[in-house]
Structure 1
Amino acid sequence: MNRNHFLRNIGRGSLALGVSPLVSFNRQDGEKMDPKVVQEFVGACHRDMDKVKTLLEEYPTLLNAAHDWKKGDFETGLGAASHVGYKELAQFLLDEGAQANIFTACLFGKMDIVKPMLTAFPKSLNALGPHGFTLLHHAEKGGDEALEVKEYLLSLGAKETKVALY
């Protein structure tokens, strides 16, 4: 075997070894969550703590599941509870381990989270949550607890509370 042939074969082998783990990571084996169950859970997170608890007992992975209402309008249970201002349910979901986000931080008036996030990522001021609700909307839903965050968002130029998605 000459040197060029050897190097070519080594390169092919290295490529195959490097790609095969990536291919296996892209496979989605197993059952997917029933979209109707996800929709039921996310819908309940707008208004029904008891139903949320019951569904989470039966399907623990619903905690961070997202429903696509249409055209990429994704919403998690925490997103639902947050944009309607249901703080008790939002806190319950966070206590269960739901993925926190800047929208929920606005709802709870967490300036120590919101300000550094917007300093690091200024374009997030105009980020849209479920159904096109903005950070300002979430701060308004937070009431007195979120007044400092609301004033901060306004000082940065936030104007809209909701933007049409479709």
Structure 2
Amino acid sequence: MNRKQFLTAGITTTGFLVVSPTSAFANQIQDGAQLDKKVVAEFVGAGHGKVEKVKELLEEYPTLLNAAHDWKHGDFETALGAASHVGHLELAQYLIDKGAQANIFTAALFGRIDIIKPMLDLFPSALHAKGPHGFTLLHHAKKGGDTAKEVTEYLTSLGAKETKIALY
């Protein structure tokens, strides 16, 4: 029995349907509604280090996992992007374990030279790519501390500089 059949059967046999917040949210998604921008902003903001808030919001709204907030002027950020540029390894790992879409910046944070080298071989200009708020790969690697020391040294040897551009 699929969801629609289940709901139809529930309404038909009981005459009413009890809707929990979770099922109401599921209905919004099914109807094509977008996530509330304020909730996305709160989730991404919490991604800068508020672990319990991230967990609470993700429990209530599972599709927030890869949602990006637009800080304006092309500055898009996910909770994983936030955790990555502030160096919150534990929160970043939690989000990845939940299925968040990691990228080269997160790989730099975690010191994954085995990912960084082939990515830069394939896309050399990524050495100077800007992540959320204009933070560079080198910035992310430095935030990884000792875990990312090899990546920090490698990026520096290629001429990477830790610059931040003003996006707004």
Range of TM-score over shorter length: 0.7 to 0.9
TM-score (ref. length: structure 2)? 0.80
TM-score (norm 1): 0.81
Partner of 1:56: 58
Residues 17-37 of structure 1, C-alpha deviations (whole Å, 9 max, x = no match): xxxxxxxxxxxx621110000
1:115-134 matched pairs, under 5 angstroms: 115-134=117-136
Q: 2:150 aligns with which of 148, 151, 154?
A: 148
Q: Which residue in the other structure is 1:90 paired with?
A: 92
Match of 2:139 among 127, 137, 141: 137
Instruction: Please list the CA deviations of residues 139-162 of structure 1 after superposition, one character each: whole Å capped at 9, or x if unmatched.
Output: 000001101000100111101242
Which residue is equivalent to 2:114? 112
Aligned residue for 2:77, secondary structure, equals strand
Q: Which residue of 1 aligns with 2:44?
A: 42
- Inter-partner Cα distance in structure 2 for 1:48 and 1:109: 23
Give the number of equivalent residue pairs: 138
Match in the other structure for 1:32: 34
Question: Which stretches in structure 1 are left out of the alignment for 5+ residues?
Answer: 1-28
Structure ID, larger Rg: 1
Runs of 4+ in 1 over 4 A off after TM superposition: none
- What is the alpha-carbon distance in structure 1 between the residues aligned to residue 103 and residue 162 of structure 2? 19
Structure 2 gap ranges (5+)? 1-30
In 2, the alpha carbon distance for the partners of 1:62 and 1:101 equals 17
Compute the RMSD of aligned alpha carbons.
0.9
1:135·1:161 contact (CA, 8 Å) conserved in 2?
Answer: no
**Would you say 1:75 and 2:77 are equivalent positions?**
yes
Give percent identity, aligned residues only: 75
Q: Compute the displacement of 1:60 (Å).
A: 0.4
